[in-house]
Structure 1
């Protein structure tokens, strides 16, 4: 069981739209299965993504998926956005 994951992912919005990007995740407890969070950097920024908040899914390779809430967003550069995520339930990594 790993306690971190960094790599490609897709954020699935409430309306089913998928946004590809890179994510960096970790468990909040020492190796615990519940309590995880991290960041997501989308490949493209859409209005729907900017308005996203709760009930989203984060899909990792090999069909692993977890439910996430957006806890914050900040601009990195003029064309990049970093989204802070809080996972719900078991960590998908």
Structure 2
């Protein structure tokens, strides 16, 4: 299993960029290949709340990967945590 935890940018379908922190890991068990993780945005918008698929996650070393949002939960009054599933090769 490979992991990444640190700064990331989520690029929405309309091109809007959302800075935040990602925690990602690869799934290397049996036939389960791919990667998953979470993303905690610095700021929450209505566009981000409605985002589901067709998104891209950029890491500081210029690695990028396509992602879908599988869930969202509130952490504090102004913070949310998005659950992500990778689409294709992991960017880390």
Corresponding pairs, count: 90
TM-score for the superposition, normalised by structure 1: 0.92
Query: Do residues 40 (structure 1) and 39 (structure 2) align?
Result: yes
TM-score for the superposition, normalised by structure 2: 0.93
Q: Which runs of 4+ in 1 moved over 6 A?
A: none
* Distance in structure 2 (CA, Å) of the matches to 1:24 and 1:80: 16
RMSD: 1.4
Q: Which runs of 5+ in 1 are unaligned?
A: none
**Cα displacement string for residues 34-86 of structure 1 (whole angstroms, at most 9, x for unaligned residues):** 50000000000000000000010000012100000000000001111000000
